[in-house]
Structure 1
């Protein structure tokens, strides 16, 4: 990663000039390190188990829980947008909540509205493609190294929401059609991520698209792990339950986020007066 003093320097994911920064030059998302992927998978697991737990215990019904969690997400996103730079606690809380909301959106379509998984998967894929298309058309980049304006941050979080919804629907579709069980499903999605990672590092596959494909695939991977741990043994799980699984993973997430908040290992600090490029 480099820093350019020119406002018109080329940026990752696009060949045109960078759009002028309208708010700050600080990137609002973390650097993609091993910590990023570990916490991302943990958040997707919590998204799956917490959605199931809330639906079972809250007594609000699937729709009521969806409205409640959407409201909480909106509050956290307001805080996230008002920060001037990446803050690990706020950012990962938003990811965890958006994981829950993305799961609930897909579950509402399937369970409450009877929408086939094939249809919801297709719709979410199209919606995500539209977000990427408009994002690139406006900003000339899809790189997460340039989430440094309100516009780009808006596109980023909208894309993240649809990746979770798409990952949920596609993961459920694959699990139902192939009937592999939770553990084998997790292995399948892990191999799919490896199939993206290997050409990325060995053959130089485009970094931006490699990131977003892997980001989508971590959703069904985390969900399969969560289901394997939480579901009863008669259904192919370990029987830990949604409460134990959710608490365990939230504790690990909190520990990692505190560590990153202290060490700032996932923060890229820009040079004063420079525009960041990848």
Structure 2
């Protein structure tokens, strides 16, 4: 390395590895379960305000890291899941907007984020999220995918009358489309990533609802509180594994540079 060379900028978000997708699905289910539990355990207004405060604080912490830190990043994703679910429910319950209308509204909003992001930065790849502005676009897209995914999940389960278990099966099948599209080189990798990213939300949320909702509402009846506790444990375990893997990868890279 010459004296004029500069180290490559670090990406601020994780690569889409297999464990990333497991954590993403678990975090979406966690957000749904925690939202349902908090709305029932607390006054709904207080629950929404606490969810918003968690969202702001977790995202602010993430934005100040300037690099990918597993624990901080996934806390922000979980906070987006909790508040995103609450916000989507408020739009439907309080405002009275049908799920079909809210899904269309969120789809337009998400598409607008992608258009602005592409025009501004020339790329939507998560591998290029190395600057503050790109990270802001990234998190705007993440919020949009959670809102859209929540509305789509409620649309299939409630409006279309499929219920939670059937919705799980539908989204589990549909999410194979971007996987196969990318594997067979039919789809661009960036498009396949964001397509799958949207679908993990209704898939994870449907699983959480199926486990947590009462039997008379089409669920198993475990309870949102217990589901939240179990998924929190899963997320902590996954973050620990990712942290250890990242530390080992850095150690190998350092050893290779010295060798």
With the length of structure 2 as denominator, give the TM-score of the two structures: 0.90
Counterpart pick for 1:197 among 169, 174, 179: 179
Partner of 1:187: 169
Q: C-alpha root-mean-square deviation of aligned residues, in Å? A: 2.2
Give secondary structure in 2 for the equivalent of 1:205: coil
Contact (CA 8 Å) 1:86, 1:267: kept in 2 or not? Answer: no
Alpha-carbon distance, 1:203 to partner: 3.1
Task: Determine if the alignment matches structure 1 residue 96 to structure 2 residue 78.
Answer: yes
Alpha-carbon distance, 1:265 to partner: 7.6
Decide whether aligned partners of structure 1 residues 265 and 144 sit closer, same or farther in structure 2, where only a CA change above 3 A counts. Answer: farther
Partner of 1:130: 112
Contact (CA 8 Å) 1:33, 1:266: kept in 2 or not? Answer: no
Task: Determine the C-alpha separation between the residues in 2 that align with 1:134 and 1:97.
Answer: 24
Task: Determine the C-alpha separation between the residues in 2 that align with 1:164 and 1:55.
Answer: 18
Partner of 1:44: 28
Task: Determine the C-alpha separation between the residues in 2 that align with 1:30 and 1:65.
Answer: 30
**Quick check: which one's strand share is greater?**
1
Gaps (5+ residues) in structure 1? 1-6, 8-20, 273-278
Task: Determine the C-alpha separation between the residues in 1 that align with 2:26 and 2:211.
Answer: 12
Which shows bigger deviation, 109-118 or 143-152?
A: 109-118
**Quick check: which one's helix share is greater?**
2
Task: Determine the C-alpha separation between the residues in 2 that align with 1:268 and 1:126.
Answer: 40
Higher relative contact order at CA 8 Å, sep ≥6: structure 1 or structure 2?
1
Matches within 5 A, 1:22-101: 25-59=9-43, 61=44, 63-101=45-83
Alpha-carbon distance, 1:267 to partner: 7.2
Task: Determine if the alignment matches structure 1 residue 141 to structure 2 residue 123.
Answer: yes
Task: Determine the C-alpha separation between the residues in 2 that align with 1:206 and 1:231.
Answer: 38
1:241-271 deviation digits (Å, cap 9, x = unpaired): 01110100110110110111122189799x9
Give secondary structure in 1 for the equivalent of 2:77: helix
Partner of 1:16: none
With the length of structure 1 as denominator, give the TM-score of the two structures: 0.84
Task: Determine the C-alpha separation between the residues in 2 that align with 1:69 and 1:266.
Answer: 34
Matches within 5 A, 1:210-249: 210-249=192-231
Matches within 5 A, 1:248-267: 248-264=230-246
Matched residues, number: 248
Task: Determine the C-alpha separation between the residues in 2 that align with 1:240 and 1:31.
Answer: 33
